[in-house]
Amino acid sequence: MCRNIKTLYNFEPPATEDEIRASSLQFVRKLSGFTRPSKTNEIAFNRAVDQVASAARELLATLVTNASPRDRDVEAARARARASHRFASSESRRPN
């Protein structure tokens, strides 16, 4: 899975249209291998992004959980801490 695609479900506040669109774009880019499609493929590429975004919206709207929503700021801080630890650990393993 593409690392740039973020989990969008069960957050407070809920995922925005921009976040859904960005994840859909990343997904289609990963599938197609195109960062930017050629003019010839642009219509198909954009249609795919629209369809994936629509499916994502529907999925997010219909999923059910008993878990309380996660806080975006708390999750972002945890991700930064994991990255800091991971990169600090890899720096200490590098030979001089």
Predicted pLDDT at 1: 45
Whether pLDDT at 7 is above 60: yes
* More confident site: 38 or 5: 38
CA distance 88 to 44: 43
pLDDT digits (tens, 9 = 90+) for 23-64: 999 999 999 999 999 999 999 999 999 999 999 999 999 999
DSSP class of 4: T
What average pLDDT does the structure give for the chain? 88
Instruction: Supply the pTM of this predicted model.
Output: 0.76
